[in-house]
Amino acid sequence: MTTLRELFPEERKHEILRMITAEGRVSVTELSRKYGVSEVTIRNDLQDLADQGLIVRTHGGAVVVPHSPDILSLNLRRQQQTAEKERIGAAASVYVSDGDAIFLDTSSTTLAIARRLKQFRDLTVLTNSLAVTQTLLEMTGITVVMTGGLLRRDTVSLIGADGLALLANYNIKTGFFGAHGLTLEEGLTDVSLGESEVKRQAVKLCRQVVAVVDSTKWGRVGPASFASVQDLNVIVTDHDAPEELVDAMRAQGPRILQV
């Protein structure tokens, strides 16, 4: 069995988060004994996870964070890591060419990509994001195709498997996907099962899959996976992404571009 002392720091925190998600609560003493590290180390790990809003610290341990719409709120996510997302969006746009059909998901980072598409011609953008659609309204060289489904207000998007049949009519060259988290084991994950299902089906239809994730997403894990590391062709992130995880991820095959 792999022990925590064999893991990189970010991987160790990921393992702790997975245990808290599965069991609901953990204690510092339990984690220290289980993985053979000091209680000081465990407390630091728990505090880092709490600072990211992934868990709630308690006396002597931690519990799973209560579900909150703010976790999913697009308006909230737009206000976080804004400079990094703009750089990532600019870098990711190099994977778009005139005449392409591309998929943009509902993440705040893909909005940064959408804002960079004005220069392209004969571009077809498939999306389930109303925010992406609104961004592209005045870009005359772009045809926007929206999936159908149920309106999800907090992410300003349409979800539901019934609305995805339209995607199969297109040869989608590249799909761009943000995520709540990225790990070696779970790949790209989201906190919404509905959003994850849309992304999972879209990933299958894209010839090239580009993950656009800022450094805060590395080592995080959400309840639902929608793409494995093996599904990813490119990961665009920023320079603050944890070096050890970046190296481990690169060894699995995806090209990683840091901006």
Q: What is the pLDDT along the chain (259 residues), one digit of tens a residue?
A: 444 446 677 778 888 888 887 787 889 999 988 888 899 999 888 888 877 667 777 778 887 765 444 444 455 554 556 788 999 999 999 999 999 999 999 998 999 999 999 999 999 999 999 999 999 998 999 999 999 899 887 778 899 877 888 899 999 999 999 999 999 999 999 988 889 999 999 999 999 999 999 998 999 888 889 999 999 999 999 999 999 999 999 999 999 999 9
How far is residue 186's CA from residue 207's CA, in Å, rounded to a whole number?
A: 21
Of all residues in the chain, what percent are helix, strand and coil, respectively (each to 5)? 45, 25, 30
Phi, psi of 118 (to 5 degrees): -60, -30
Q: What span, in angstroms and rounded, lies between the C-alpha atoms of 37 and 46?
A: 13
pLDDT at residue number 223: 85
Q: Which domains does the chain have, with CATH numbers?
A: 4-66 (1.10.10.10), 72-258 (3.40.50.10470)
Instruction: Kindly write down the DSSP assignment for every residue of 3-64, as one continuous string.
Output: -GGGS-HHHHHHHHHHHHHHHSEEEHHHHHHHHT--HHHHHHHHHHHHHTTSEEEETTEEEE
Rg (C-alpha) for the chain, rounded Å, is 19
- Residues with Cβ within 8 Å of 79's Cβ and at least 6 positions away in sequence, in order, are none
The per-residue pLDDT for 5 is 46
pLDDT, residue 1, reads 41
pLDDT at 193: 85
Give Cα 138 to chain centroid, integer Å.
28
Measured CA distances, 55 to 38, 64, 67, 114, 185 (Å): 20, 5, 11, 32, 20
Query: In sequence order, which residues have a C-beta less than 8 Å from that of residue 191 and are 6 or more positions away?
Result: 71, 72, 180, 222, 223, 224
Report yes or no: 245 and 13 within 8 Å, Cβ to Cβ: no
Res 194: pLDDT: 87
Nearest of 237, 173, 238, 231 to residue 207 by alpha carbon: 173
pLDDT at residue 15 in the model: 86
Cα first-last separation, the chain: 36
Q: What is the pLDDT of residue 81?
A: 63
